[in-house]
Structures are given as structure tokens and as C-alpha cells.
Amino acid sequence: MKKLLEKYLWFLGRAMLVYFQPEIILVTGTAGKTSTKEMIFSVLSESKKFQGDIGKSFGNLNTKTGVPLAIFQIKIYEPNVRDWFFLVLYLPIKFLFFWLHILHYPKWLVLEIGADKKGDIRAMVKILKPRVGVVTNIGAGHLEFFQNVEKLTEEKLSIFDFMGPDDLAVLPQKGLRRARLDKIRAKQRFFDLADLTASSRIIGDFFHLSGQEIEKGLKNTKKAPNRMAVLENGGMTIINDTYNANPVSIKASLEFLDAVVKEKKSKRKIVVLADMLELGKNSVSLHKKMGSVVRKKADLFFTLGDYAAYYNAKQHFHSKEKLLEALLWEIREGDIILVKGSRGMKMEEVVEGIIKSLKSKV
């Protein structure tokens, strides 16, 4: 059934691309795809060239079933069975609305793309043919579907396979082999991973935006839900970064935590971390490694889940209720709390529990 759905969606998606021929800016990477997409969209929206004529994917529609929905500019987060039944019927109608100019179809699309298995990205890119491709970073993530990081790297870099010399490839400065980079025909621009805005600035420059337009776009970027959202409550600061977790994104979250601590002059750093899922045979070793990193940075370290036991935190739990009980007993005014975990762990429920408890004490 899933294969049949994919074929149907891509039949319609390909028809949209052939008829309207939008220019596509495509983002992939182990972490930061959605945030980078949002920044690029916001920056380009400041230019008269793009204003009113640029669209983006909603949420994280980046899979073989999600990308066609993004092409249709569908605003849905995680479709359920009922949603899919509606969408199958609705997409041809929406195509007709675009064709009749009842709805306006953008000339530019900023999309993100991911892979569940080998060949996914290349198969989609062959149809999408992006004008600009961005790789945010590459590290241990979704290794359940790939033998090792090298195989994952090859999959991510296939985003550039159908790009020509007039197109733009935006890549991180470190971690990629020169021999592989030499196969990329597009213009190459590199950025420092420490600068989260760098890829957006490069793309702004490529399309001849002014420095003022780029800065304004970055300032106006809307943060995606549950991604490094800083919340103030009860004299404490909570960083809700619960959308997903892998070693790359956890390191980025810890760097963000340090930056917020300096800004807020917080007294203690508390890290609440759940399982990193989809890491395959490397799960145990990667949890041990990340646990060692976090223990050196955090004043208090709480963990949740089966694999999370390998973080070797002093306070480990298998239920959110027990975790919240222990966490709420420990936290006090002036603390900063980072909450993170893989999507399947639903750690936003822990954030909601903290906020609910703090509000009840007011």
C-alpha cells in the first residue's frame, strides 16, 4: 500500500513540477534541516525578486511521501490514515485550482529532504533537479538504515548528482573527502558549522541580496516547533529541543545551552535526555559516548528510556512520571533546563509537565 501511495503522490508531484517548473532550493543533513530551511525562506522572502513568489515545505515533510505534499504546498504535520484518505482525493483538485490560477503557485520552493533507506535522496533529486543544494552536516543519525556514516554521507551528497555548473552546492567546511567533492559539478561554497546562519547568508549572496535584506530575514525567521525554543517560567529557563535527537543535534543543543547560559547568567545547567532512536548497531556505543560528553557539561543529568541507560547518568528513569517527580524536586530558580530526545520519545510531554507544575505554584 505504501509503494502504491508513493507512486500516486510522485505522479502528481512530477506533473506539478513539469507544468509550473519552479526553481528548487533543497536542504538535507543529519540535523538542522528544518531550521536551515526556515532561515533560507525568511532571508529570500526579503528580496523583491522572491516576495510573494516563494513557498516552503511545512514542518518536516521530507520523506518520499512527504516531499510530494510539500510540492503541493500542503500544510500538514504528521498525516494519519484519515488525513491520507482526504489527501488522495484533494491533491488532484488542488492541482486544478493551481492550473486555473484560482490559487497562485510559487516560482521558488525551499524544501527539505531526508532518507529512510539507500537511494531515497537520489531518486527524489532526479525528479526535483534543485537549483541550490544544501548539506547542513553529516554524522551519526538514521544509521539503522545505513551500514555506517560513510554510506550515509554518500546518500546525503547525492543531493548534488543532478546539478550543473550554474547551480550552487552549499557544504560544511570539514568532514568531506576531496575526491567526493570533485564529483560535484555545481559551484561549491563552504561554511563553518559553528555559524548556524552561514548557509543562509551564502544563498542570499548567491541571489544578490543586500546585507540588510539578509540580516532582516535572519531576524524574522520563525522557529520550528520544539526546536531550541527558549521558554521562561517560574524564574527558570527551559530549552525545548524535543523534536528529535542524534549525536550531531545533541552536540549542537549543548553549544546552544552554553550560549543561553552566558546570556541569562544561569546558575546551573540541567540536561534531560531521552533515547536516540534509529542508530542501529551503533546505538549502545553512541549513547555511551554522548553520555560522557553531557556528564562533563551538566550540573544535573536526567535520562529516560531503554538506550538512555547507556548515558550512565546518576538519575535514570523508564517513565516520564518518575522522571518529572525527581526533576521537579531538584530544580530551583535560576536553573536552565535542556530537554531533548528522539521524536518517538515525545519529550515535549516532559516540557509540558515542567511548565504545568511551575504555573500551579504561582
**Judgement on whether residues 209 and 302 belong to the same structural domain of the protein:** no
Which three cell numbers mark 315?
538519575
Stretch 52-56: mean pLDDT: 94
Instruction: Give the residue-averaged pLDDT of 160-186.
Output: 92
Any domain includes 155: yes
Count structural domains, the chain: 2
- Within this chain, do residues 209 and 325 fall inside the same structural domain, yes or no? no
In residues, how long is the chain?
A: 362
DSSP class of 143: G
DSSP state of 147: S
Instruction: Determine the pLDDT at residue 140.
Output: 66
Is residue 355 scored above 60 in pLDDT?
yes
94-152 pLDDT tens trace: 999 999 999 999 999 999 998 888 899 999 999 999 999 999 988 766 666 676 778 88
**Is 70 exceeded by the pLDDT of residue 204?**
yes
Write the pLDDT tens digit of every residue in 1-46. 778 888 999 999 999 999 999 999 999 998 889 999 999 999 999 9
Looking at the fold, whether 127 and 268 belong to one and the same domain comes out as: no
Answer whether 150's CB lies under 8 Å from 180's CB. Answer: no
Residues 145, 269, single domain; the answer is no
Task: Indicate which CATH number applies to the domain containing 109.
Answer: 3.40.1190.10
Is residue 113 in a domain?
A: yes
pLDDT band at 175, cuts 50/70/90?
confident
Same domain, 150 and 45: yes
Average pLDDT score, the chain: 91
**pLDDT over threshold 80, residue 270:** yes
**Which residue, among 222, 239, 237, has the nearest Cα to 347 in the 3D structure?**
239
**Angle (nearest 5°) at CA 15 between 11 and 18:** 135
Q: Which of 243, 254, 234 is nearest to 331 (CA)?
A: 234
| Residues 275 and 200 occupy one common structural domain | no
The pLDDT score that the predictor gives to residue 59 is 79
> d(Cα 279, Cα 141) in Å, to the nearest integer?
6
Instruction: With a cut of 60, say whether residue 305 has pLDDT above it.
Output: yes
**What is the rounded average pLDDT of the residues 227-243?**
90
Band (55; pLDDT cuts 50, 70, 90): very high
Q: Residue 156 — very low, low, confident or very high, per pLDDT cuts 50/70/90?
A: very high
Would you give the end-to-end CA distance of the chain in angstroms?
51
Q: What is the pLDDT of residue 289?
A: 95
Percent of the chain residues past pLDDT 90, beyond the cut: 68
Q: Provide the whole-model pTM.
A: 0.84
How far are the Cα atoms of 28, 155, 188, 290 from residue 183, in angstroms, in the given order? Answer: 18, 14, 11, 33
202 and 272 assigned to the same domain: no
In a domain, 355, yes or no: yes
Three-state SS sequence of 186-255? CEEEEECCCCCCHHHHHHHHHCCCCHHHHHHHHHCCCCCCCCCEEEEECCEEEEEECCCCCHHHHHHHHH
Are both 15 and 148 inside the same structural domain?
Answer: yes
**Given this model, what pLDDT does residue 315 score?**
96
pLDDT score of 205: 96
What is the DSSP secondary-structure string of 84-98?
HHHHHHHHHHHHHHH
CATH number, position 348: 3.90.190.20
Q: Specify which residues 301 forms β-bridges with.
A: 271
Last residue of a domain, one of 219, 253, 278: 219
Q: Which of 219, 254, 279 is the last residue in one of the domains?
A: 219
Q: Are 77 and 59 in contact (CB under 8 A)?
A: yes
For residue 152, being part of any structural domain is answered with yes
pLDDT tens-digit map of 84-95: 889 999 999 999
pLDDT at 362 over 60: no
Let me know whether 182 and 327 are in one domain.
no
168-172 and 187-191 as β-strands: parallel, antiparallel, unpaired? parallel
State the Cα–Cα distance between residues 150 and 251, nearest whole angstrom.
Answer: 20
pLDDT of residue 32: 86
For residues 130 and 22, membership in a common domain is answered with yes
80 & 108 share domain: yes
156, 190, 219: which is the final residue of a domain? 219
Domain that holds residue 256: 229-361
Dihedral sign from CA coordinates of 102, 106, 112, 117: positive
State the pLDDT at residue 50: 92
- Angle, helices 211-219/198-206, rounded to nearest 10 degrees: 140
Beta bridge partners of 337: 238, 270
State the Cα–Cα distance between residues 1 and 115, nearest whole angstrom: 19
What pLDDT is attached to residue 225?
78
Q: Is residue 224, in this structure, part of any structural domain at all?
A: no
Question: Is residue 163 one of the residues assigned to a domain?
Answer: yes
155 and 23 together in one domain: yes
